[in-house]
């Protein structure tokens, strides 16, 4: 199977999106010269070129792309060639209005922007496949071609008649018949029983809250339809040359596409990430995304497909990246497993919606602070070839589950501010600050190689995942489970008899009531071993069923209820945390859990804001603050690199 190693060929990749169709041909040779001088060795071409390649349904214009690919190849620059299907040309929407996506309100989104397609519209599918076929037939064996980049940032949703029809078929496949559907969706509630498939609809705009199982299934269905679009294009390009690897670009933590399923469908994982330079947690959030990408690819190297060397023009306040920050974030990607650093985009657009976006070659030109940094980074990455292909060791896995994520954020949950990624970040943050490297893992995947498994939240859990995590602890693992977990089954049916439904034995606790707290209310918690602390947003009426209470509520209606519990189970240990402890308390708690589980930081006792990651034989030390820090290390007492 082809992979990133076929693209890197032993060197870190460096470059960005290149949109030559926005520029007159005399600029192109200059681009290639400047790219070479900057150390660029891979550019992504054609992402938004559909109209330039097929200006009318029956006319293809490849001459300009022939020239561009030829120039790049002559300049020794490889190409990630896109299938341009993320942004259909106006002629498609004009001739086939049914290819334009409909919102839940029934209103069509028109052309004039991008991403205006319905993933289920047969005319869109046909046209997307036709342009993909044409591009693949022409370039699949081009010597500059290193990688296929399918579509772009899949995420478009539609609620039209085509989608309704496909949704019914998808539901038939899942539930068999209408009785199955009615049972799974609980349509006995509010007189929603369906007697004919034609009555079944996408969750369009309704009078009051939508059926949650219908909502959740539609999210699953939309994901499946986008994946079908991707797979069709992937298969089309593979048919022309199976040796060229295929990817599509993910977006950090993105609820709409299930990263585990998508990553399994591509040859390598790639990420678009735009940390906000005004966010004090930007470095931590970025580290988390990068760890996720490495994990989605099963620990293999991944590709940073887009980041901005300047402002991201879609931000309400588009502050540029301060000097040195693009380098720092690039090194963070490499440290956390990336074998390439690409940007959006090479040359800044003069027109269009992204005319204010940062670029490797900004509007100011090559004689600019940003471009000088780009050149310096290119030179530096060229000297880091020893890291190419190396892995990043980790003893900790975070369980990440897209169904549980979608379900916990459905309407009418006990606290509408309860966000899945916030819960993940609360556990990730103290570990990141302590330089403990973390992977992510699916709930039903192999876990035995980890010393610690963290489940910040798993509101919805099915039998396979429940058994997998219990088996991990029984065999000697350490598990920590966060609040509001084990509440519903995959049909969004509430477990009865107390929570966490399938895990009361494992965790040694029974939850009778979920107890969200109003904004601003602090829960007072006492603990002999962790020290007293406060918690916010969430608490639970727990009853220990054998677990040792480690921290207990003081005062109020939950007085004496344990909110941190530790339970020996089989050969392992399971912790349940029924609230959201303050960041300091989380740090103390996770330090204790790590110490018990034998999880060690990459380097202990580093100054604040210094991130340490080991990759292969290299130790990366990244300082996220501006001043100077000094780190002294004695001798070479590192464990042997893996």
Applying CB under 6 A, the residues found at the interface with ligand GAL are 47, 152-153, 272, 274, 306, 308, 312, 314, 344, 354, 357
Nearer CB in complex with ligand GAL: 99/152: 152
Nearer CB in complex with ligand GAL: 312/392: 312
Nearer CB in complex with ligand GAL: 205/322: 322
Instruction: Give the shortest CB-542-to-ligand GAL separation in angstroms.
Output: 43
Instruction: Give the shortest CB-17-to-ligand GAL separation in angstroms.
Output: 6
- Residue 628 to residue 140: CA distance in whole angstroms: 49
Strands (E), 19-158: 42-45, 78-83, 145-150
Instruction: Give the shortest CB-154-to-ligand GAL separation in angstroms.
Output: 11
The tokens describing 453, both together, are 């498994």
Instruction: Give the shortest CB-354-to-ligand GAL separation in angstroms.
Output: 6
How many other CB atoms are found less than 10 A from the CB of residue 594? 22
b/e burial code for range 447-467 (CB count within 10 A of at least 16 → b):
beebbbbbbbbbbbbbeebbe
Nearer CB in complex with ligand GAL: 100/312: 312
* Alpha helix (H) residue ranges in 176-257: 178-185, 212-240
- Find the catalytic residue in 233, 306, 492, 540: 306
- Residue 81 to residue 296: CA distance in whole angstroms: 22
**Nearest position to ligand GAL, beta carbon:** 344
Nearer CB in complex with ligand GAL: 47/81: 47
Report whether 228 contacts 119 (CB < 8 A): yes
Give Cα 92 to chain centroid, integer Å.
Answer: 31
Instruction: Give the shortest CB-555-to-ligand GAL separation in angstroms.
Output: 48
The residues facing 565 across adjacent strands are 549, 576
Instruction: Give the shortest CB-314-to-ligand GAL separation in angstroms.
Output: 6
Edge-to-edge strands, sheet with 78-83: 246-247, 145-150, 78-83, 42-45, 13-18, 338-343, 302-306, 270-272, 249-251
Nearer CB in complex with ligand GAL: 310/378: 310
User: What DSSP line would sit under 490-513, residue for residue?
Assistant: TTSPBPPSSBSGGGHHHHTEEEEE
Nearer CB in complex with ligand GAL: 306/540: 306
Let me know if 626 is exposed, middle or buried by CB neighbors in 10 A (0-12, 13-18, 19+). Answer: exposed
- Residue 576 to residue 483: CA distance in whole angstroms: 7
Dihedral sign (CA 548, 551, 553, 559)? positive
Instruction: Give the shortest CB-224-to-ligand GAL separation in angstroms.
Output: 22
Clarify whether 634 is annotated catalytic.
no
CA dihedral (192, 198, 201, 205) in degrees, to 10, reads: -80
- Residue 52 to residue 419: CA distance in whole angstroms: 41
Clarify whether 306 is annotated catalytic.
yes
Instruction: Give the shortest CB-305-to-ligand GAL separation in angstroms.
Output: 8
Nearer CB in complex with ligand GAL: 254/450: 254
DSSP 3-state of 615:
strand
Report whether 121 contacts 162 (CB < 8 A): yes
Report whether 248 contacts 230 (CB < 8 A): yes
Please tell me whether the peptide bond between 537 and the residue prior to it is cis, using omega within 30 degrees of 0.
Answer: no
- Find the catalytic residue in 153, 233, 373, 540: 153
- Residue 109 to residue 115: CA distance in whole angstroms: 10
Catalytic residues: 153, 306
């Amino acid at each position: 199977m082809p992979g990133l190693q076929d693209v890197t060929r032993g060197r870190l990749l460096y470059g960005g999106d290149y949109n030559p169709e926005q520029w007159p041909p005399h600029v192109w040779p200059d681009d290639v010269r400047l790219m070479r001088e900057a150390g660029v060795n891979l550019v992504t071409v054609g992402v938004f070129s559909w109209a330039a390649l097929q200006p009318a349904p029956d006319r293809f214009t490849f001459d300009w792309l022939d020239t561009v690919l030829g120039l790049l190849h002559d300049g020794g620059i490889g190409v990630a060639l896109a299938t341009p299907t993320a942004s259909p040309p106006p002629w498609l929407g004009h001739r086939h209005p049914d290819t334009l996506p409909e919102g839940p309100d029934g209103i069509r989104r028109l052309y004039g922007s991008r991403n205006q397609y319905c993933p289920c519209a047969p005319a869109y599918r046909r046209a997307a496949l036709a342009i993909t076929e044409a591009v693949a037939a022409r370039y699949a064996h081009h010597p500059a071609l290193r990688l296929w980049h399918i579509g772009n940032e899949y995420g478009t949703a539609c609620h039209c008649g085509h989608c309704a029809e496909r949704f019914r078929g998808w539901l038939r496949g899942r539930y068999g018949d209408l009785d199955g559907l009615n049972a799974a969706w609980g349509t006995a509630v509010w007189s929603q029983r369906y007697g004919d498939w034609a009555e079944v609809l996408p969750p369009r705009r309704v009078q009051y809250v939508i059926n949650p199982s219908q909502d959740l299934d539609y999210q699953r269905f939309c994901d499946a339809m986008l994946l079908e679009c991707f797979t069709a294009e992937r298969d089309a390009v593979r048919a022309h040359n199976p040796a060229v690897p295929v990817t599509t670009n993910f977006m950090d933590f993105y609820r709409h596409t299930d990263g585990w399923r998508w990553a399994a469908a591509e040859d390598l994982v790639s990420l678009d990430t735009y940390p906000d330079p005004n966010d004090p947690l930007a470095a931590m959030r970025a580290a988390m995304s990068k760890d996720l990408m490495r994990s989605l690819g099963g620990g293999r190297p991944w590709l940073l497909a887009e980041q901005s060397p300047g402002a991201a023009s879609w931000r309400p306040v588009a502050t540029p990246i301060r000097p040195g920050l693009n380098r720092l974030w690039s090194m963070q990607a490499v440290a956390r497993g990336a074998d390439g650093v690409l940007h959006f985009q090479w040359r800044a657009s003069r027109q269009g919606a992204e005319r204010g976006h940062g670029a490797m070659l900004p509007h100011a030109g090559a004689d600019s602070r940003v471009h000088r940094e780009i050149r310096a980074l290119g030179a530096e990455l060229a000297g880091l070839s020893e890291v190419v292909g190396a892995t990043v060791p980790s003893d900790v896995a975070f369980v990440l589950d897209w169904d549980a994520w979608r379900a916990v954020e459905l309407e009418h949950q006990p606290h509408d501010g309860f966000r899945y990624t916030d819960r993940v970040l609360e556990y990730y943050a103290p570990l990141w600050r302590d330089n403990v490297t973390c992977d992510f893992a699916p709930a039903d995947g192999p876990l035995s190689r980890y010393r610690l498994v963290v489940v910040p939240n798993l509101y919805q859990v099915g039998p396979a995942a429940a058994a997998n995590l219990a088996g991990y602890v029984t065999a000697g693992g350490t598990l920590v489970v966060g609040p509001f977990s084990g509440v519903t089954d995959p049909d969004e049916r509430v477990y009865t008899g107390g929570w966490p439904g399938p895990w009361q034995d494992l965790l040694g606790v029974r939850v009778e009531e979920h107890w969200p707290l109003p904004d601003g209310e602090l829960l007072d918690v006492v603990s002999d071993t962790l020290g007293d602390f406060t918690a916010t947003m969430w608490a639970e009426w727990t009853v220990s069923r054998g677990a040792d209470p480690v921290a207990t509520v003081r005062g109020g209606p939950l007085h004496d209820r344990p909110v941190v519990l530790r339970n020996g189970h089989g050969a392992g240990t399971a912790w349940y945390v029924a609230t959201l402890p303050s960041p300091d308390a989380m740090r103390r708690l996770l330090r204790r859990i790590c110490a018990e589980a034998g999880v060690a930081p990459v380097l202990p006792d580093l100054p604040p804001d210094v991130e340490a990651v080991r990759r292969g034989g290299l130790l990366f030390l990244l300082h996220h603050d501006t001043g100077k820090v000094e780190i002294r290390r004695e001798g070479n007492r590192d464990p042997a690199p893996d």
